[in-house]
Structure 1
Amino acid sequence: MKPTGGSVGGFLAAVTPARRQRDAETLTALLQDVSGREPVLWGTIVGFGSCHYRYPTGTEGDMPLLAFAPRKTASTIYLESTAEYADDLARLGPHTTGVGCLYIKDLEQVDLEVLRDILTRSLAWSEAGGSEQAELTVTG
């Protein structure tokens, strides 16, 4: 995965439906505040900062430190593992999860302070170098 150099503002302006666009703008501000980094497009993902990852298997690549994608059905927030945040997710509000994805259909229905805590911990995990399962090196 690589940054594509597209306009974040232009991308966000084209997000539909209107609720998803509103949520994308809120998430952009939140992730920028948490990370202290400017948003960058990685295809259809809005990322903040970057790191290089390497698995013990030899698989490696680049990815954002924090990221989300405004999809039609829900905003997708990327985490290293949703299992790490079970207690926080129980207090978050309406959402669903995958192994490393948090899906939120309406950001106005969740507790943004709980979400901020999750994002802050996820960023700290990345900046600390990941884990035995994935070694991370911050590059931006």
Structure 2
Amino acid sequence: MYEQKTKETDASVIEFIEAVDSPKKREDAYRLLDIFTETSGYEAKMWGPSIIGFGSYHYVYKTGHEGDAPLVGFSPRKAKTSLYFAPGDHEREALLAKFGKHTSGKACVYINKVEDIDIEVLQQLIKQSIHFLRKTYPEN
């Protein structure tokens, strides 16, 4: 049976951020921590060894695969900082068009530094993602 790799842990978010090598990435991580906490209304938790997540939801796919994941989150990776939002819909794509310098995948948006992005659009992306996931996967 499939074992989900990325699970919520009891690891310290602050200790994780303090272990980030780059002082600039560490500073950005603290800034994102404040923005995500304030905007989402959820306390930061570590998910797996390197994702800082906010809130959680339980998903069940049509295939029967199910698990838990953070509603939104981020990870200060070596190359770029990954931001985790719900997979794309039209509203997300419209927000990303105004977001600033980034690249994106299905659920991840990658930034070099916080100065490259529009903080108000980031806050809208956080709210939009939470709303989308709560609507798609209502709590039982």
Q: TM-score, normalised by structure 2?
A: 0.88
Against the structure 1 CA distance between its residues 73 and 97, is the aligned structure 2 distance closer, same or farther, given a 3 Å change threshold? same
Who is 2:59 aligned against?
53
Against the structure 1 CA distance between its residues 138 and 103, is the aligned structure 2 distance closer, same or farther, given a 3 Å change threshold? farther
Who is 1:133 aligned against?
none
Which one-letter code corresponds to 1:70 in the other structure? P
How many residues were matched structurally?
133
Who is 2:81 aligned against?
75
Who is 1:18 aligned against?
23
Whether the aligned pair in 2 keeps the contact of 1:82 and 1:98 (CA below 8 Å) is no
RMSD: 1.5
Who is 2:3 aligned against?
none
Where structure 1 has 5 or more consecutive residues not aligned to the other structure, the ranges are: 131-135
- How far residue 47 of structure 1 moved from its aligned partner, in angstroms, is 0.7
Whether the aligned pair in 1 keeps the contact of 2:82 and 2:110 (CA below 8 Å) is yes
Identity of aligned residues (%): 38
- How far residue 16 of structure 1 moved from its aligned partner, in angstroms, is 2.4
Who is 1:30 aligned against?
35
Where structure 2 has 5 or more consecutive residues not aligned to the other structure, the ranges are: 1-5
Which one-letter code corresponds to 1:98 in the other structure? G
**Ranges of 4+ aligned residues in structure 1 off by more than 6 Å:** none
Whether the aligned pair in 2 keeps the contact of 1:24 and 1:70 (CA below 8 Å) is yes
Hey, what's the Cα distance between the residues in 2 that align with 1:126 and 1:83?
A: 11
Whether the aligned pair in 1 keeps the contact of 2:71 and 2:86 (CA below 8 Å) is no
Q: TM-score, normalised by structure 1?
A: 0.88
